[in-house]
Amino acid sequence: MIKSSEEVAKMRLAGNLASKVLIMIEDFVKPGVTTQELNDICHDYIVNELDCIPAPLNYRGFPKSICTSINHQVCHGIPNERVLKKKDILNIDITVIKDGFHGDTSKMFFVGEPTVQAKRLVDLTYEALKIGIKTVKPGATVGDIGSNIQDFAEKNHFSVVREFCGHGIGKDFHEEPQILHYGIKGEGVELKEGMTFTIEPMINFGRKEIRILPDNWTVVTKDHSLSAQWEHTILVTRDGYEVLTIRPDEKI
231/242 with CB nearer ligand MF3: 231
> Helix, strand, or coil here: 53?
strand
* 56 or 143: CB nearest ligand MF3: 56
> Is the backbone peptide bond immediately before 54 cis, with ω within 30 degrees of 0?
no
- Are 91 and 69 contacting, i.e. CB atoms less than 8 angstroms apart? yes
Regarding 198 and contact with Co ion (CB under 5 A), the answer is: yes
Half-sphere exposure of 28 (CA within 13 A, CB side): 18
Helices assigned H by DSSP within the chain: 5-25, 35-44, 116-134, 142-155
Residue nearer to ligand MF3 on the CB measure, 184 or 213: 213
Rounded to 10 degrees, the C-alpha dihedral 112/72/76/54 comes to 0
Residue 62 contact among Co ion, ligand MF3, none, beta carbon within 5 to 8 Å by kind:
ligand MF3
CB of 58 to ligand MF3, least distance (A): 9
Q: Of 56 and 183, which CB lies nearer to Co ion in the complex structure?
A: 56
In this complex, which beta carbon is closest to ligand MF3, that of residue 105 or of residue 147?
105
**Residue 91 interacts with Co ion (CB under 5 A)?**
no
According to the binding rule CB under 5 A, does residue 11 interact with Co ion? no
Q: Give the residue, chosen from 88, 104, 144, 242, that forms a contact with Co ion under the rule CB under 5 A.
A: 104
Q: Whose CA is closest to 78, among 89, 96, 93?
A: 93
Number of residue whose CB is nearest ligand MF3 = 56
- Which residue ranges make up the site for ligand MF3 (CB under 6 A)? 56, 59-60, 62, 67, 76, 93, 95, 104, 198, 200, 231
Taking 3-state DSSP, the helix, strand and coil percentages for the chain, each rounded to the nearest 5, stand at 30, 30, 40
The answer to the question of residue 88 lying near Co ion (CB under 5 A) is no
Residue 93 binding Co ion, by CB under 5 A: yes
The Cα–Cα gap between 175 and 45 comes to 26
Number of residues located near Co ion, criterion CB under 5 A: 5
**Sites of contact with Co ion (CB under 5 A):** 93, 104, 106, 198, 231
